[in-house]
Homo-oligomer: A and B are copies of this chain.
């Protein structure tokens, strides 16, 4: 399938590349990496994501090339890091693009093969890792900017070489991109080692509220906590990864109240457990060890519902 993907890209002249809603570091890094690689080689390349590029990724080169509503004529649409068509959100205009070939490049095991060509590699730790091998096949050299964007995808999706799918292969890819000029330490530093004081204060409050129920540890970020600590971001700022380190738990969850009354649910599982199915059943997605969804509030109702589903999943998997 990689060969077909390579051929489709080699043959296309006007390319639209779309990454998923609520973009993470791999979505944005992959989008920019492939975009920068194709830009000087095609008649037109448009990069799109239905949601705004999050603040913490705006250090990446040319992040402002990414549009929310793409315009123009295309002969190929490439979907990056999306497990289904819904993840493309409003950036994918079903009516306008229905007759265009859709190339689906993704590493999620939950991918539903929604494209005309589907190149899906669940063993890859990041979509950016697949793009490294794609660019090699296309004979496109790694500029510093391309290498930076792709390494960003790899570092964020492996939590900086902490996930079980961190193989010698992906480490070698990271070395190659670092030798091409990508600033490994700076990227890891930005991704994991810079926190506003308000974020640390939010952690302090959320850790005080931490609860252990059976082998599930959870906490929450309420609007009131945001106001009192000055923590304004939508996500959980890595809190769920930290809770996931608790020896006493197999599953960790953080519930975050969003502005519009919705609740963001972020879940982590230790290697023998799988939270992606619960996320999928609630309209979200992700990987066995890291998944999430967004549900209508109130917080207490979401908490009860999700914890009960997770407890069932835990029992079934134990």
Residues on A facing B (Cβ under 8 Å): 160-164, 166, 168, 171-172, 174-175, 178-179, 184-185, 188-189, 192-197, 200-201, 203-204, 207-208, 210, 212, 217, 242-248
**Interchain CB contact under 8 A, B200 and A204:** no
Question: CB distance A245 to B195 under 8 Å?
Answer: yes
The distance from the CB of A192 to the nearest CB of chain B, in whole angstroms, is: 7
- A241: shortest Cβ distance to chain B, in Å? 8
The 3 closest A-B pairs by CB, nearest first: A204-B207, A193-B245, A197-B248
Copy number in the complex reads: 2
Q: List 21 A-B contacts (CB under 8 A).
A: A160-B162, A161-B161, A161-B185, A162-B185, A162-B189, A162-B192, A171-B171, A171-B175, A193-B244, A193-B245, A195-B245, A195-B247, A196-B248, A197-B247, A197-B248, A200-B210, A200-B243, A200-B245, A201-B207, A204-B210, A207-B207
The reply to whether B162 and A171 contact each other, CB–CB distance below 8 Å, is: no
> Whole-angstrom distance from the CB of A54 to the nearest CB of chain B?
16
- Docked complex Cα distance between A60 and B300 (Å): 44
Flag if A200 contacts B168 (CB, 8 Å). no
Q: Is B248 within 8 A of A193, CB to CB?
A: no
**Which residues of chain B come closer than 8 Å to A208, judged between CB atoms?**
204, 208
> In the complex, are the beta carbons of A193 and B243 less than 8 A apart?
no
In whole angstroms, how far apart are the Cα atoms of A203 and B207 in the complex?
8
Contacts of A207 in B (CB 8 A): 200-201, 203-204, 207
Are B162 and A200 in touch, CB under 8 angstroms?
no
> A206: nearest residue on chain B (CB-CB)?
B204
